[in-house]
Amino acid sequence: MTWRPQYRSSKFRHVFGKAATKENCYDGVPITRSVQDNHFCAVNPRFIAIITECVGGGAFLVLSVHHTGKLDPHHPRVSGHRGSVLDIKWNPFDDYCIASCSEDATVKVWEIPRHGVLTNLTMPWKELQGHSRRVGLIEWHPTANNILFSTAYDYQVMIWNLDSPEQVIKNPVRTIQHHTDVVLSMSFNTDGSLLATTCRDRKVRLMEARSGNVLQEANCKSHKASKVLILGNLKMLITSGTSRYNDRQIALWDQEDLSVPLLQENLDGSSGVIFPFYDPDTHMLYLAGKGDGNIRYYEISSEKPYLHYLTEYRSHSPQKGMGVMPKRGLDVTSCEVFRFYKVVIVKSLIEPISMIVPRRSESYQEDIYPMTAGNRPALTAEEWLSGIRPVLMSLKPGSELMEPPSELKGLTNSLDTRRSQSRPGMLRLSYIQDQLEAKEDGEQAKSDRSWTSVSNGDDQFECSPCACVGSLLVLRLPPTVQKHDC
């Protein structure tokens, strides 16, 4: 019998957490004292938003990610809600658009100025009125543009189309009414066709995101789920909650059969809610407990034993919530694969924590940065019924989005004709022609010269650029030339 080692090889076995220095933290932030089990912090590559404590309504701060150090106590805020803000989420396809929900039973969508918030912002771009009680959670659809999900203490999940021309939207696209108690968390799969929810009635529901039809329902007596995540394309769900003996516990589920969990693992006897975070590119699961100072991380596989413990990041400062930077905002030169923004209420501090794969080379590491979700929607709000997969992008410096599949070109043309069909490293010929024409129209002294497609006097056509040259040659023919052989 052949002896086999008892360890498994992994690229992420030695991942470690590195906290930012005090100069690179956000200090003096008046963090909210709400007891809601949310993250209270949202991040994108341009801005960081933090829900703050205030009197006479709800507000949150929007800072540049580079605005580190001591915060001005009189810094302008986004303060249009009449009640406390409970959740905030950035639009995944627009770094200047953020949604917030509040105890005033409304959801508001804000447009952040390009230069940041310099004065108090009180007028939202859209206001969504439909819930009868306070709204506790919001989630953007991962592939459709301007589709927003919200859930409130009226036990309803509402789907909103922000492409509606009204500034105040009172009629959601659809209302999901399967829950018998407060919804605690929501999670989409990669293409946004499935929605998983946890509820105070102890049930985990997996449903179609568009129609709201329940596909699977779990009601395990030995596990009370609080948070849920769909694990990318592994066709599995992870839930965090408590066991029957009130120990903190995580459970892994088969997406096709939620009758019995595949795996249950007890963590400890603390009382704080466990926030799970999953990276579908590295298949790593991070567990951060509310009130804890540590972050556990695991690697998940599709075969038994499914869950492989790696190690944990430890600190003495307890976290109230966590923000997560999208993959396109990471520092690939330092082999950073994940970045948290830890909300430390006892210090009024937001502390970035980078999860780094130790590598000696400073060059781009393609093996740890596969194609990831891009910042362009795969479809419009009207086309979101199709369930198209998200547009992927490479994190390699200088690269652009992949060219969409041939069957999707018709859809992407309607979204962005100039950008969506461009190949990495090459501009579309028609786009360059448009730029030259716009430039030449403003030059009166050279009005007798214009861009002309190569023509023999009959049908005009455009010559494709040669693949062996690194630049595009533009032919400018005088008016006297009638024919030219390409």
Q: Give the global pTM.
A: 0.79
The pLDDT value given to residue 397: 80
Q: Which of 160, 240, 174, 169 is nearest to 207 (CA)?
A: 174
Residue type, 324: V
The pLDDT value given to residue 351: 97
Contacting residues for 153 by C-beta, under 8 A, at least 6 apart: 133, 134, 135, 136, 182
At which residue do the structure tokens 């999208």 appear? 326
Contacting residues for 43 by C-beta, under 8 A, at least 6 apart: 49, 65, 90, 323, 324, 325, 326, 329, 341
The pLDDT value given to residue 385: 62
Contacts 24+ apart (CB under 8 A), 446-453: 448/479, 449/476, 449/478, 451/476, 452/476, 452/477
The pLDDT value given to residue 332: 92
Length of the chain: 486
Say how far apart CA 139 and CA 150 lie, in whole Å. Answer: 6
> Encoding tokens for residue 345?
């209420």
Contacts 24+ apart (CB under 8 A), 265-270: 265/307, 267/296
The pLDDT value given to residue 1: 42
269, containing H or E segment? none
Domains contained in the chain, CATH given? 16-356 (2.130.10.10), 366-420 (no CATH), 426-486 (no CATH)
Q: Mean pLDDT for each 10-residue chunk of the chain (486 residues)?
A: 60 93 95 93 97 89 95 93 95 96 96 94 95 96 94 96 93 93 95 93 94 91 94 92 94 93 93 94 95 94 91 94 95 94 95 94 87 89 69 72 46 40 38 49 44 40 39 39 42
- Sign of torsion over alpha carbons 318, 322, 323, 329: positive
Question: Residue 104: phi, psi to the nearest 5?
Answer: -85, 10
At which residue do the structure tokens 């779990």 appear? 218
The DSSP code sequence of 90-109 is E-TT-TTEEEEEETTSEEEE
The pLDDT value given to residue 338: 97
Contact 50, 350 (CB under 8 A): yes
The pLDDT value given to residue 31: 95
274, containing H or E segment? strand 274-279
Say how far apart CA 97 and CA 49 lie, in whole Å. Answer: 11
Say how far apart CA 221 and CA 224 lie, in whole Å. Answer: 7
Q: Which of 83, 123, 125 is nearest to 105 (CA)?
A: 83
DSSP β-ladder status, 16-19 and 349-356: antiparallel
